[in-house]
């Protein structure tokens, strides 16, 4: 029973890690910004100031709110609400969040 839950958890994390990858790599290239990977998260970092970075990653706590979270380095973490959206709509909403954070924080 415990093995099944660990396998289910790892599968869930792997699938949402891949979703984060899809969101980040679908963005148009931005000058001065590079793609980064850490743990189960994918994100962007300013090449001129590596301290300016953020990740999209599977939610650890608050999964009932949303499957993905945004962590901005030095600022904190926020779950991205799913709001009863289907998978495609949710990834579109996550993409909007990523574009907004990129334009407000990195560019």
HEC letters along the chain: CHHHHHHHHHHHHHHHHHHHHHHHHCCCCCCCEEEEEECCEEEEEECCCCCCEEEEEECCCCCCCCCEEEEECCCEEEEECCCCCCHHHHHHHHHHHHHHHHHHHHC
Local confidence band at 4 (pLDDT 50, 70, 90 cut-offs): low
Q: For position 63, what pLDDT does the model report?
A: 86
Q: Does residue 64 carry a pLDDT above 70? A: yes
Q: Does residue 33 carry a pLDDT above 80? A: yes
Q: Does residue 27 carry a pLDDT above 60? A: yes
Q: What is the percent of the chain where pLDDT is above 70?
A: 96
Q: For position 29, what pLDDT does the model report?
A: 87
């Amino acid at each position: 029973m415990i093995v099944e839950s660990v396998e289910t958890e790892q599968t869930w994390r792997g699938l949402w890690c891949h979703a984060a990858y899809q969101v980040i790599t679908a963005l148009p290239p931005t000058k001065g910004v590079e793609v980064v990977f850490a743990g189960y998260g994918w994100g962007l970092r300013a090449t001129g100031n590596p301290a300016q970075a953020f990740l999209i990653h599977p939610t650890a706590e608050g999964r009932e709110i949303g499957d993905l979270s945004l962590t901005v380095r030095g600022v904190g973490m926020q779950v991205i609400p799913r709001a009863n959206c289907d998978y495609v709509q949710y990834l579109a909403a996550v993409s909007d969040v990523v574009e907004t954070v990129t334009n407000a924080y990195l560019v």
